Amino acid sequence: MAQGNSSLPSDFIREIIDEHIRTNRFQGRVATRFPPEPNGYLHIGHAKSVCLNFGIAKQYKSTCNLRMDDTDPAGESLEYVESIINDVHWLGFDWEDRLFYASDYFEQLYQFAVQLIKAGKAYVCSLSADEIREQRGTLTEPGKESPYRNRSIEENLDLFARMRAGEFEDGAHVLRAKIDMASPNITMRDPVLYRIKRAAHYRTGMKWCIYPMYDFAHCLSDSLEKITHSICTLEFENNRPLYDWILNQLNVDSHPQQIEFARLNLSYTILSKRRLIELVVKGYVAGWDDPRMPTIAGMRKRGYTPEAIHNFCDRIGVAKNDSLIDVALLEHCVRDDLNEKAPRVMAVLNPLRVVIENYPEGQTEEFDSPYHPQNPEMGSRKVPFSKILYIEKEDFLENPPKKYYRLAPNREVRLRYGYFIKCINVVKDPKTGEVVELHCTYDPETRSGFAPDGRKVDATIHWVSAEHCLPAEVRLYDRLFRVPNPMEGDSDFTNYLNPKSLEILKSCRVEPSLANASPGGRFQFERLGYFCTDLKDSQPGRLVFNRIVTLRDTWAKISEKEKR
């Protein structure tokens, strides 16, 4: 695992860059880019790449471009472009005036293709897509050369110009690189560089009816932007010889070094745009920014902080081999960050009414309660106390088992920041037998939280004053999938969705200090977890909170076990 964020991260990519600086490979320059295709929202896997590319730029005092890799009109849109811009900014990175679009290079890319044809390094092939696939060969068998492979340069130039002019049907011809049909690397067996596709592009409209393939557009876009280190995920390792071949044939001035690293896989979720789109389109979630989604927008709505995501990316590091990261580590990073930042308040999710029999009717007093036990600088607020309170239903049991230390008949507990109370009577619904109200007494001598006679209680519970508290809706989010790897096995991944990934509680009560909680404000609800006000739905008078993460740290347990 990489070092924490206390020191500068180091990994094999930074070692390569250091070596290049030492050997003056790019005249000492470092320039990276983050090149998302705007065909979906960014997810936590993209965040790993964002933190890596922009992180390197920061560390080496160099630049990182944001480039929309928008060469395939299908599924690309302005909405996605805007979401990407938003999300990378939210993560805390800036590209100044270096926002680029691969679609802005269409004319230059076309001219590069013409140059390849003129050099005898590309030809127009009139086989169908199926035929091309059939003739490509396998890992053990070489491919077959296309009957169109030896068309003359003049004929190729003419056909390619007419492809652009729209003279042919979709699929009638493609432009292929002329490399080697017997290459052991299948990627090098005369790969397709351009295809005819009549589709409106969200930026260039119907201006083009031929579009470059990823392998052709990507290396040349990198080169045009004078990128030095083109960092991508491992599945492009086999494409690196093609990346280099294209740039070598065209003899460009700027030839970036492609470096591959392992993509992030995270347990209990999926990180594939195609599948995330399916969840959105089929309505399994409320949208791309549903707080259960592994998208940056979802995590923002959920209440995750950019700092927590950075810390997570630092901790997972960058490696050469694929692995599945435990989502508990991400949750641990969120908790770690919020533990320091989030003020503590009290909220009752499932209220049970408690009447303090010996407390005077109509009386109210206030307990000065610190916002953070370890950080007095966060200040305090007044928490009102009165005769009728709400406590959490699960903090009372009529017949408590061993090791249940909370409230029970004739048992005394401490109220957080307040008095000891003792349960003396239980009121039940005569029909259902459900406990609907507790009658308690309080000990006025215990206001400090301690009894002068030295008697002890075994539990401290949270509460709110019925007269002063505010109603709130609370949305309890849990993991979207109920298995660690939803893509494993033959079953459709949607079969593994967690039916309990969202529980909405409508009759929660929160302490009055939350009346003007700012949009997106984050709090620790004592004993329950971290929560934030919903950015869209929460308003004064109609508070809505999202659960960011529970207090239970499964990651700490896992790493404890590993240490032992």
Query: Nearest distance from residue 50's CB to ligand ATP, in Å?
Result: 8
Of 14, 48, 151, 176, the residue at the interface with ligand ATP (CB under 6 A) is 48
- Retrieve residue 121's tokens: 């390094």
Cα 446 versus chain centre, distance: 47
Contact 263, 322 (CB under 8 A): yes
- Residue showing the smallest CB distance to ligand ATP in the complex: 45
Q: Which of Mg ion, ligand ATP, none binds 49 (CB below 5-8 Å, type-dependent)?
A: ligand ATP
Alpha helices in 104-239 (DSSP H): 106-118, 129-134, 153-165, 214-224
| Residue whose CB is less far from ligand ATP, 32 or 513 | 32
| Residue whose CB is less far from ligand ATP, 266 or 407 | 266
233 binds ligand ATP (CB under 6 A): yes
| Contact pattern for ligand ATP over residues 55 through 74, marking x by CB under 6 A | --------------x-----
In this structure, the strands spanning 435-443 and 174-177 are unpaired
77 binds ligand ATP (CB under 6 A): no
Query: Nearest distance from residue 104's CB to Mg ion, in Å?
Result: 18
Instruction: Please report the sign of the dihedral spanned by the C-alpha atoms of residue 460, residue 466, residue 470, residue 472.
Output: positive
φ, ψ (nearest 5 deg) of residue 288? -60, -30
Using CA atoms, how far residue 473 sits from 8, 211, 500, 544, in Å, is: 42, 49, 17, 5
- Retrieve residue 42's tokens: 């960014």
Query: Nearest distance from residue 42's CB to ligand ATP, in Å?
Result: 8
The strand pairing partners of 442, in sequence order, are 421
Residue that has been written with the tokens 């700012």 in this structure: 518
How large is the C-alpha radius of gyration of the chain? Answer: 31
Residues 6+ apart with CB under 8 A from 338: 305, 308, 522, 524, 530, 548, 549
Q: Is 157 helix (H, G, I), strand (E, B) or coil?
A: helix
37 binds ligand ATP (CB under 6 A): yes
Q: Which stretch binds ligand ATP (CB under 6 A): 16-24, 43-51, 97-105, 401-409?
A: 43-51
State yes or no: is 263 an active-site residue.
Answer: yes
Q: Which stretch binds ligand ATP (CB under 6 A): 32-40, 144-152, 307-315, 386-394?
A: 32-40
Of 58, 263, 353, 482, the residue at the interface with ligand ATP (CB under 6 A) is 263
Instruction: Please report the sign of the dihedral spanned by the C-alpha atoms of residue 37, residue 42, residue 46, residue 48.
Output: positive
Integer Cα distance of 15 and 426 in angstroms: 68
Q: Which stretch binds Mg ion (CB under 5 A): 33-41, 133-141, 172-180, 421-429?
A: 33-41
Integer Cα distance of 384 and 364 in angstroms: 7
Task: Give the residue among 106, 35, 107 at the shortest CA–CA distance from 71.
Answer: 106
264 binds ligand ATP (CB under 6 A): yes
Q: Which of Mg ion, ligand ATP, none binds 383 (CB below 5-8 Å, type-dependent)?
A: none
174 binds ligand ATP (CB under 6 A): no
The footprint of ligand ATP on this chain (CB under 6 A) covers a number of residues equal to 16
- Retrieve residue 547's tokens: 């659960």
State yes or no: is 98 an active-site residue.
Answer: no
Q: Which of ligand ATP, Mg ion, none binds 191 (CB below 5-8 Å, type-dependent)?
A: none
φ, ψ (nearest 5 deg) of residue 257? -95, 120
The one catalytic residue in 14, 33, 37, 547 is 37
Q: Which stretch binds ligand ATP (CB under 6 A): 42-50, 157-165, 368-376, 440-448?
A: 42-50
Query: Nearest distance from residue 288's CB to ligand ATP, in Å?
Result: 13
State yes or no: is 37 an active-site residue.
Answer: yes
Q: Which of ligand ATP, Mg ion, none binds 290 (CB below 5-8 Å, type-dependent)?
A: none
Integer Cα distance of 113 and 220 in angstroms: 11
Lay out the sheet containing 174-177: strands in order across: 122-125, 174-177, 192-196, 210-212
Of 13, 26, 32, 35, the residue at the interface with ligand ATP (CB under 6 A) is 35
Alpha helices in 91-126 (DSSP H): 106-118
Q: Which of Mg ion, ligand ATP, none binds 264 (CB below 5-8 Å, type-dependent)?
A: ligand ATP
- Residue showing the smallest CB distance to Mg ion in the complex: 37
In this structure, the strands spanning 470-477 and 543-550 are parallel
Of 173, 176, 201, 273, the residue at the interface with ligand ATP (CB under 6 A) is 273
Residue that has been written with the tokens 């990489």 in this structure: 2
Of 9, 36, 143, 294, the residue at the interface with ligand ATP (CB under 6 A) is 36
The one catalytic residue in 48, 178, 203, 273 is 273
Task: Give the residue among 366, 383, 387 at the shortest CA–CA distance from 469.
Answer: 383
Query: Nearest distance from residue 128's CB to Mg ion, in Å?
Result: 25
Query: Nearest distance from residue 301's CB to ligand ATP, in Å?
Result: 20
Catalytically active residues are 37, 263, 273
Residues that bind ligand ATP (CB under 6 A): 35-37, 45-46, 48-49, 69, 232-233, 263-264, 271-274
Chain residues that interact with Mg ion, rule: CB under 5 A: 37
